[in-house]
Every structure is written in structure tokens, then in C-alpha cells.
Structure 1
Amino acid sequence: MYWNPKYECMPREEIKQLQLERLRLTLERAYYNVPHYRRIMQEIGFEPEDLKSLDDLRHLPFTSKKDLRENYPYGMFAVPLSEVVRIHSSSGTTGRPTVVGYTKHDINVWSEIMARTLTTAGVQKSDVIQNAYGYGLFTGGLGIHYGAEKIGATIIPVSGGNTKRQVMIMKDYGTTVLTCTPSCSLHIAETIEEMEILKDELKLKIGIFGAEPWSENMRREIEERLNISAIDIYGLSEIIGPGVAIECPYKNGLHVHEDHFIVEVIDPKTGEVLPPGERGELVFTSLTKEALPMIRYRTGDISRIIEEPCPCGRTSVKIGRIEGRTDDMIIIRGVNVFPSQIEHVLLEVGQTEPHYQLVIDRVGYLDVLEVQVEVSEKMFSDDVRSLEMLSKKIQNEIESTLGISVKVKLVEPKTIERSEGKAKRIIDKRNI
């Protein structure tokens, strides 16, 4: 099922030619309208007409979140503010917020991309979509919303929060598609169970989850508890919002909309472009944005490029599921650790709830990692010896996976803080 087969199934050579043409226009827009881009291109002696092939892109400097903050609020815009019809921004909790703008053309392009994205996931005009992504300055809610309206599906703009109300709406309004973060979906599943609502009382069939890394084991957990097909979506505000890439029902990678974005994977330390299949940091260049063109934007997300053809017939390259971030990667005694690695182990072992936190502390000169994980109601009522055996099993499996020693602390059900948005997985008590 395609929304726009002309671009979704375009031959590879035609995609590359289209990308080259659109990249030239993007570089011109950035060079002549954004002082930051003109300055960094002039510093390396590069002008838009120097672009002869897609390979030339790798000669250009990267754009980072720092660049957006240093040009706060509108310094990276390539159009006058009078042409910007919408502004989104980050929370700014780690400094100045990053500000993104959209022209009317950008909104129309985004709506088209999101219609294509939702269709790829299996959404149809007849579906009822419960959109539990946040509305407002966060791009998730309105991004999904406009795409759903473009398709002609029924959209319920419920936003996040008030989980019991979410469940009531889901049951009473006949929701068939749920869109939210994966951790939020598990919170909803838990609430459904607490309210003693049976799976066959719901009409849910598809879940579209993103905004945080999640493992294959968590997918299986969500699918089992909500009786749905769980689809991974990827996006980020700086590039456009949700809809940069999406899984099809084959779930063998996320299709990148290459007529609108160029994706690269780089070594996060050296900046060297890595070949397809190698794991590194995702870098995106926008090809059709007017208000905020982004050239080689470093996402901080860890993934890989997949070139193998997909049975669905789409010809775009895919990216693997996000394995973590360069900035939520924990370094424990010289070892790089991602929360998703530990999540994978916990769900593999079983007998625990999919709610956990990683507490890092420094004892003397040594970093200590404690994994706090909720046990199930049934397991918590077992004898002490059974709990000790489970704790030891989890510890052994994590240590085998990570190659470092950890502490495991089993906690009572429902004692780890729930999140309506992105789950807070890491508590770092070190003074570093």
C-alpha cells in the first residue's frame, strides 16, 4: 500500500539524480540566505556551484544543535519571519531552546510526508487514530495530526497524559491506531490491565511509536500486551519532525523518504562517513525545506544504513532501529553502555516488568552501575530465595553482555516513576 508510488518506488538512479538537483537548490538557499552557512562554506572555499556529485556533500561541515543555539532564535532561517507560518521549539532544558520554522510550503510538504509515513505503517482512511503525542511546541502531535488529515483518517487529538482517560477513549471511540512513545504505550497497557479491560473489547490493530530508543524485545512486549502490530517511526524537529523514516509491516528497517532527505552515517569521533551496514551517528541533510534548510545535521542517534531491497517494493534506503544516542551513552569504567542493551537483557530474562532505571554513582574513584528493575506482582510474592536467584540471573546476563560488573536491585511493582512522554532511564549521581 503506497501513498505516493512515484517517489516511494522510484528507481535508485532516478532518486540519486533528484537528490542532486534538490541538494544544489538547498545549498544555494542556505548560502545566499543564512549567514552561518555562507561563513562556514567560505571558510573551506566552497560555493554551491562546486557541488558536482552527491559525494561532494561529505566535504561540507556538519551542523549541530550548538549552531542552532548560537543563532537563536531565527538566525538559521532562510526566509523572512513574515513567510514563516509556524514555529516549534525544544524545551531548552539544557540551554537555549532550538527553534524550527516552517513556511506554508514546508507544512504542505510535511503533511505529504506524514501521509506517506502513516500509509507505510498500514494506516488507511477508515482508521481512527488516537494521537497521544504531545501537541504544542513539540513537533510530534501536530506532525501526526496533519498527516492523518491528509489521508482522511479520523484523528483524536488527545495528546499525552491522563492515562485512564486515554483508555476510556480508546475503548469507547473505537481507536484502531495508537501513536505515542513506546514507554507511554506500556503505561497504557498496564492501565488497561488494571482496569480489567479485555483485549477483544478494543479495536486497536496498529501502534506507531517513536521519540525514544526501544528494543525488539520491548516491541514484542507491547504487541503481546496490546494485541497490535507495533511500528517504529523516526524523526526530529530540526529535520522536519516525525516522518523522516518509518517501518513498513515487514519491520526490517525504517524507510527514509530520500526525495526529501539525504542520510549519512558517520564515526561520531572522527566524522568519517561510514559505509552501509556499519553502526554510527546518523546525519541528515534536508532537500525541500524553505524556512530552515539543514545541511549535514548531526542527530546524535546511533544506527546504520540498510541497502537491501524490501519486499514491500519501496526502493529507498532504510536505517536500522535507533540503538541509542551519543549523548545518553553511559561510559562505565571505559565501557560504552546504552540503556537499550540492558532493556534487551531484562526482557529476554523475563519475570520482570518493562520498567527500569540505571543509577550511576562514583564510590571512591570507581564508577558503579546499579540496575533497578520492577518485578511482576506474581514474582514479588514469591519467596526470598526465588528473588535472589532472579537477581543473580539478571546480573550475570547483563555482565556477560556489557563486560563490566553491575549491581541489580529488584524493586516492588509500580515503584519506578511512570512517564507520559520519554521515559527517564538514567540517574547519574557522579560529579563529573
Structure 2
Amino acid sequence: MYKRDLRDNYPDGLFTAPRDELIRYHVSSGTTGKPTVVGYTKRDIENWSESLARGFSSCGLGKGDVFQVSYGYGLFTGGLGFHYAGELLGCMTIPASSGNTERQIHLMQSFGTTVLHIIPSYALRVLHFCDQAGIAPSRDLSVRVIFVGGEPHSEQLRRRIEEGFGAKVYNCYGLSEMAGPGIAMECMAQDGMHLCEDQYLLEVLDPETLEPVEEGQIGEVVLTTLRREANPLIRYRTRDMARLLPAECACGSAHRRLSRMEGRTDDMLVVRGVNVYPMQVERALLDVDEVGRNYVITLDRPEDLDRMSVAVELTQEAFTDDMRELNALQRRIERRLQTELDISVCVELHEPGELPVSDGKAVRVIDNRDQEK
């Protein structure tokens, strides 16, 4: 099944449960076309909440934790999914939603937030605000666990969030079509996300041949729901690229582990004939200590030749008036990107906080090539 099948049957042409058994709808943003609709019966909500709550428990959460859900509520699945699961586990749950960074930090300070759910790029924005306000999160806040999801991110970015907050950061995978977050979650070992195998059947396939890849090889994640009542899906192509991890996890769980998402089949950029994933750019950038918390990739086509440039914020310590130092750093970052991507990249250095930010998912790629045809 493909996303277009859901769109072609908008809003609920593929639902299998009668409407009087549905208790909730969630709807995608529709930014890439007609939105998709997900329906839930009472049991669907219970199964979804239980899957997430099990993941939370494997990361040490329980009664006594204060869980701040700094994620969009409303028609999106992320906020409400985490909210209901937090309450099911007995956490005191704060429906903070997204945005209003000053209020987010005020809530953390007022209620002693111990657990946070947040988009990775927004976590960096919160850290930047704390820097400006003279707040040291590891000293002045009580956050000990952070769940991130909603957008691809590298291991390097995870470590920067951990260092900034002084907390453990766990990855969570989900997509609205399957119910929302909680398809797979990391445990305390932080070595892959355990699949909820009583809820989903997972295949990792070659996106071109649709044949299974060997364990440990990257491929497209294809999912079948096992317990969905409202709108079950069979062999749904997620477009997410990941790999099944071999061997058992140190935590002892028998549920198979999925790697972090390593890109999407539909976010691959072709630059001068070379396939480039935005996650490769992030990995290379965050290998450089002087690189800060924000970057933007821009693609242009002057004189019919693809050009890729990356605007990069530096850390406060790295930014200097010494042009020789900045030029040397610029060349070092460009070399690191060329080694990773196998193409030349132009790097522009910026002061901390100079690049645009969003309360929602970060806009990392601006492709101007179509407009320049």
C-alpha cells in the first residue's frame, strides 16, 4: 500500500470499522498533497497508549515523573499519543504543546518537569534560549529523560541535546498512518528501537526491487498493522530508510530492533548525479566541534550546473572577528562535507541565532532548482 491509496480514498474510504464505532480522527497536514485521515476505535486508542507506555517504562518512567509534552496537539498524532500514554503510566502530564519557548521553560521550572517530549530541532532552540537567559538546564532544570521524534536526526545531534540538558535522550519512531508514535522505541541501552511486534509486522525491503534486504542492510521500512480495527493497513510503504539490527539487545528484550531512520526515499537529493541525504550533511557538520545548533542546505542551478551550499551557525566560542580563523574553519567544514558526500559544497558561516528557526519541524533544505528552470 502507498500513501496515495489513502489520499485517493479520502477521507475514510479504506476504513473497516463502522463510523459509530470510531471515537477519534487524526489528520495529516497535507503539505505534500491531499491530507490523510486516521481513525481510531476505543480499542485502537488503548493499544496505542499501551505500546507507548511500555516504551516509557523501558526507559525508567513511572509514577512520580512529571511529563511535559512539548509537541503539537490538535489533529497531529504526536502530542495526544504521548499524553494518553503518560497518564496511563501514572505520570503527572503537562499538555504544554509546541512553541512559546519562554513559557516552556517556565513550566519546566514551576512543575519540576522530569520528562520531555520534543522535536529535536526545537530542543536545540530551547537550549539556545536557555543560553541567552543565563539558564543552565543541567543545573536549573530537573529534566532527566527526553523523547525525540517527528524528524530525522543524527546520533551527533542526540548527543548534543543530551549534553545541553544533562539528560538521556531516547529515539521514538512512528507515523500517523500506523496510529502515530510508538511503532518502535529505544530502551535504556540506546542501541536501536524495539519494535512493538505484537502490534506491527515489519519488513525491510529494497525500495527498487521490493525484495527483502539482509539483516543489517539499509532498506525501506514496510509495515503491516496487526491489531488496528478502524483502518488496518497491509504492507504499507513508509518511505523511511532504516535497517534491522542483528544480535540481542543488552536490555534482554526479545523484540527486534530497528536502527534510527537514515533518510527517506523521497528526501534524497540528486546533486550533479550524486545521491545525497540530508542526514549525511548533519552527521558531517556535527562532527565539527565548532558547528552550532542550526544549519540550512540550499540547492541552486546557476548556468545549468547544480550547486549546493550549507549555511552553518557556529558556537558562541567559535565565532571570532579573526577572518583567518574563520576562513580556515570554513575550509575544514567544506573538506569534511566533501569527504562525506563526494561532492564539493560551499559553506557559509553564521553567528549563533542568525539562521531562521521554527516552532515545528525544522526546514533544513531549500531547493531552488525547479524555479530556475
Specify the TM-score bucket, using the shorter chain as the normaliser.
over 0.9
Q: How far off is 1:298 after superposition?
A: 0.8
Q: What residue is the counterpart of 1:253 in the other structure?
A: 192
Aligned pair 1:171/2:109, yes or no? yes
Q: What residue is the counterpart of 2:277 in the other structure?
A: 338
Q: What residue is the counterpart of 1:91 in the other structure?
A: 29
Secondary structure of the 1:327 match is: coil
Cα pair 2:204 2:212 within 8 Å, conserved: yes
Instruction: Please identify runs of 4+ aligned residues in structure 1 that moved more than 2 A.
Output: 376-382
Aligned pair 1:212/2:115, yes or no? no
Aligned pair 1:74/2:43, yes or no? no
Match among 61, 64, 67 for residue 129 of structure 1: 67
Q: What residue is the counterpart of 1:425 in the other structure?
A: 364
Matched residues in 2 for 1:357 and 1:320: separation? 25
- Cα deviation, 1:59-97, whole Å, max 9, x if unaligned, reads xxxx11110000000111011111111000111122110
Q: What residue is the counterpart of 2:235 in the other structure?
A: 296
- Cα deviation, 1:208-263, whole Å, max 9, x if unaligned, reads 00111111111111111110001000111101101000001111100000011011
Q: What residue is the counterpart of 1:403 in the other structure?
A: 342
Aligned pair 1:237/2:176, yes or no? yes
Matched residues in 2 for 1:276 and 1:430: separation? 37
Matched residues in 1 for 2:349 and 2:208: separation? 36
Secondary structure of the 1:386 match is: helix
Q: How far off is 1:376 after superposition?
A: 2.2
Aligned pair 1:381/2:320, yes or no? yes
Task: Return the index of the structure with the highest Cα Rg.
Answer: 1
Q: What residue is the counterpart of 1:360 in the other structure?
A: 299
Cα pair 1:285 1:295 within 8 Å, conserved: yes
Matched residues in 1 for 2:85 and 2:233: separation? 22
Q: How far off is 1:269 after superposition?
A: 1.6
Q: What residue is the counterpart of 2:260 in the other structure?
A: 321
Q: How far off is 1:347 after superposition?
A: 1.2
Q: What residue is the counterpart of 1:184 in the other structure?
A: 122
Matched residues in 1 for 2:215 and 2:31: separation? 34
Aligned pair 1:282/2:221, yes or no? yes
Alignment of 1:43-62 (within 5 A): none
Match among 151, 172, 183 for residue 89 of structure 2: 151
Cα pair 1:346 1:354 within 8 Å, conserved: no
Q: How far off is 1:346 after superposition?
A: 1.2
Secondary structure of the 1:258 match is: coil
Matched residues in 2 for 1:211 and 1:94: separation? 16
Alignment-mate amino acid for residue 23 of structure 2: V
Matched residues in 1 for 2:124 and 2:106: separation? 16
Matched residues in 1 for 2:206 and 2:307: separation? 28
Bigger shift: 336-345 or 386-395?
Answer: 336-345
Q: What residue is the counterpart of 1:64 in the other structure?
A: 2
Cα pair 1:101 1:292 within 8 Å, conserved: yes
Aligned pair 1:416/2:324, yes or no? no
Unpaired stretches in structure 2, ≥5 consecutive residues: none
Cα pair 2:184 2:193 within 8 Å, conserved: yes
Unpaired stretches in structure 1, ≥5 consecutive residues: 1-62
Matched residues in 2 for 1:258 and 1:269: separation? 26
- Cα deviation, 1:332-361, whole Å, max 9, x if unaligned, reads 112111111111111111212120010001
Q: With the length of structure 2 as denominator, give the TM-score of the two structures.
A: 0.97
Secondary structure of the 1:364 match is: helix
Match among 32, 38, 41 for residue 100 of structure 1: 38
Alignment-mate amino acid for residue 296 of structure 2: Q
Q: How far off is 1:196 after superposition?
A: 0.8
Cα pair 2:320 2:326 within 8 Å, conserved: no
CA RMSD in angstroms comes to 1.1
Q: How far off is 1:380 after superposition?
A: 2.4
- Cα deviation, 1:7-44, whole Å, max 9, x if unaligned, reads xxxxxxxxxxxxxxxxxxxxxxxxxxxxxxxxxxxxxx
Match among 34, 47, 69 for residue 109 of structure 1: 47
Q: What residue is the counterpart of 1:4 in the other structure?
A: none
Match among 330, 337, 341 for residue 391 of structure 1: 330
Matched residues in 2 for 1:171 and 1:193: separation? 15
Matched residues in 1 for 2:224 and 2:60: separation? 27
Matched residues in 2 for 1:148 and 1:115: separation? 7
Matched residues in 2 for 1:329 and 1:126: separation? 43
Structure with the larger helix share = 1
Matched residues in 2 for 1:223 and 1:192: separation? 14
Secondary structure of the 2:67 match is: strand
Q: With the length of structure 1 as denominator, give the TM-score of the two structures.
A: 0.84
- Cα deviation, 1:399-418, whole Å, max 9, x if unaligned, reads 01111111111122212111
Alignment-mate amino acid for residue 412 of structure 1: E
Q: What residue is the counterpart of 1:223 in the other structure?
A: 162
Bigger shift: 295-304 or 416-425?
Answer: 416-425
Matched residues in 2 for 1:70 and 1:363: separation? 38
Q: What residue is the counterpart of 2:133 in the other structure?
A: 195
Matched residues in 2 for 1:82 and 1:106: separation? 14
Bigger shift: 344-353 or 137-146?
Answer: 344-353
Cα pair 1:121 1:208 within 8 Å, conserved: no
Alignment-mate amino acid for residue 281 of structure 1: E
Q: How far off is 1:311 after superposition?
A: 1.4
